[in-house]
Amino acid sequence: MLIRSSFAILVLLSALAPSQTTSPTEIDQVYPAAHELYLDIHRNPELSLHETQTAAKLASRLRSAGFDVTEHVGGTGIVALLKNGAGPTIMLRTELDALPVEENTGLPYASKVRVKNEAGAEVPVMHACGHDLHIAALVATAEVMARTRDRWHGTLMLIGQPGEEGFAGAKLMLDDGLFTRFPKPDVAVALHVSNAEPAGMVSITPGVYNTNADSLRITIYGRGGHGSAPQTTIDPIVIAARTVLALQTIVSREVKPGEMAVVTVGSLHAGTKDNIIPDHAEMSLTVRTRDQDVRKQILASIERITNAEAASAAAPREPTIERFYATDAVYNDPALAERMQVSLAAALGKGNVILAPPIQPSEDFSYFVAQGIPGFYFSLGGADPQKFAQAQHGGAALPSNHSPLFAPDVEPALRTGIAAEVAVLRSLMKR
């Protein structure tokens, strides 16, 4: 990881004072509108790279707060700047996109949206990963910061990033000149809500925060024919099935025990009818690792096993293996994380800020950090505190992100998100 080092960074990471925290009155002033925005975006989710209405709503609210807003950066991306004298440039990011998941929360504001995806198939859409809450928190934070310019200095840079769920949006924004058309920030900040902690709390992970992610698309070729005469065919479904099972031995038999590694086949598609053996089968995989050598090892093993299974069945040609997206693990600058822990503890209470181990999900915030920008990415508790306590003592497990049942406990989670973001920004940009 490239980490920026300069006197300016040392100055902005100086000791943090409790005076940089947010008062309940400040949050009360912005919370009702933020909650309404949350409900609106939750009811009207949009898929990755198609977040036109979501981006327009975000742009409108930030302009109203006094920010200089540029739209269509990297597609539907938003960049909003608020200059307040000399000082550091601090970036705060939110994601814009939702997921092709059918909501089953039973909430009165549950999404009923259905759209056609890139392949032309109709799919349900849901904010199953909390990006709606992230957007609402960022807007409210922007309004608090704009109203209290006497308490900070520098340039506040807000990012509405498209396509985080497809690991594409950060790169698209960078390719469109994010840090050449606009100021390159001294620090990049983001948060993410989950049920890993109860609402009202946040967690911090210094160093490596999550995992590397690699997305693969594999096509296995056979020879099609009549289902009643398999001897005249080479069945790609059987080859694919054997390949899926063989891939599961990589982590259990090839990776050193204790190393973090996941190989998941998330989709497998083949054929059109019960009595037709198709001529190809397609599967998609996600690979998660932390160590770069383990990453290379697993990707090589996938290629070896896939080719070997096809060869053993006398497939007419080698499979195609496309690595269609990859992102590195998010890295939290340890010194920055330590100082933000002090700031967040002052804002939320020491007992509401905890240290947590790295998580397995991945995301493309790492693209920003890779530009030589110290990053601080922290977790926001979203679980109903009572249900969380029950789950900790043998009760029903709470829904994870991407579940059709995922819904954060909005009232405390959104308030905490606003208070946390304002505290972090004021600490980094304090007078």
Per-residue pLDDT of 129-158, as tens digits, reads 999 999 999 999 999 999 999 999 999 999
3-state secondary structure of 234: strand
Mean pLDDT value of segment 284-299: 97
Please give the pLDDT value at position 220: 98
Where does 121-186 show beta strands of DSSP type E? 122-124, 154-161
Q: Token pair of 241, please?
A: 């099935």
Q: How far apart are the C-alpha atoms of 258 and 261, rounded to whole Å?
A: 9
Given pLDDT bands bounded at 50, 70 and 90, which one contains residue 119? confident
Asked if 135 contacts 164 with a C-beta cutoff of 8 angstroms, the reply is no
pTM of the prediction? Answer: 0.89
411 classed as catalytic: yes
Q: How far apart are the C-alpha atoms of 126 and 104, rounded to whole Å?
A: 9
Please give the pLDDT value at position 10: 41
Please give the pLDDT value at position 335: 96
Contacts of 376 (CB under 8 A, 6+ apart): 187, 188, 189, 190, 332, 333, 336, 337, 340, 424
CA 262 to chain centre: 18
> Which structural domains are found in the chain, ordered by start?
7-210+329-428 (3.40.630.10), 212-326 (3.30.70.360)
325 classed as catalytic: yes
Question: If we measure between CA atoms, which residue out of 197, 137, 194, 129 comes closest to residue 385?
Answer: 197
Please give the pLDDT value at position 2: 40
3-state secondary structure of 380: strand
Question: If we measure between CA atoms, which residue out of 408, 361, 358, 405 comes closest to residue 380?
Answer: 408
**Does residue 1 carry a pLDDT above 70?**
no
For 374-391, the pLDDT digits (tens) are: 999 999 999 999 999 999
Given pLDDT bands bounded at 50, 70 and 90, which one contains residue 20? low
User: Over the chain, what is the mean pLDDT?
Assistant: 94
Which of 109, 221, 325, 331 is flagged as catalytic? Answer: 325
For 61-107, the pLDDT digits (tens) are: 999 999 999 999 999 999 999 999 999 999 999 999 999 999 999 99
Mean pLDDT value of segment 350-371: 95
Asked if 270 contacts 236 with a C-beta cutoff of 8 angstroms, the reply is yes
In this structure, of 8-12, 262-266, 344-348, the range with the lowest mean pLDDT score is 8-12
Which amino acid, one-letter code, is at 139? V
**Does residue 56 carry a pLDDT above 50?**
yes
Q: How far apart are the C-alpha atoms of 49 and 44, rounded to whole Å?
A: 15
**Does residue 256 carry a pLDDT above 80?**
yes
Asked if 244 contacts 268 with a C-beta cutoff of 8 angstroms, the reply is yes
Which of 118, 318, 322, 411 is flagged as catalytic? Answer: 411
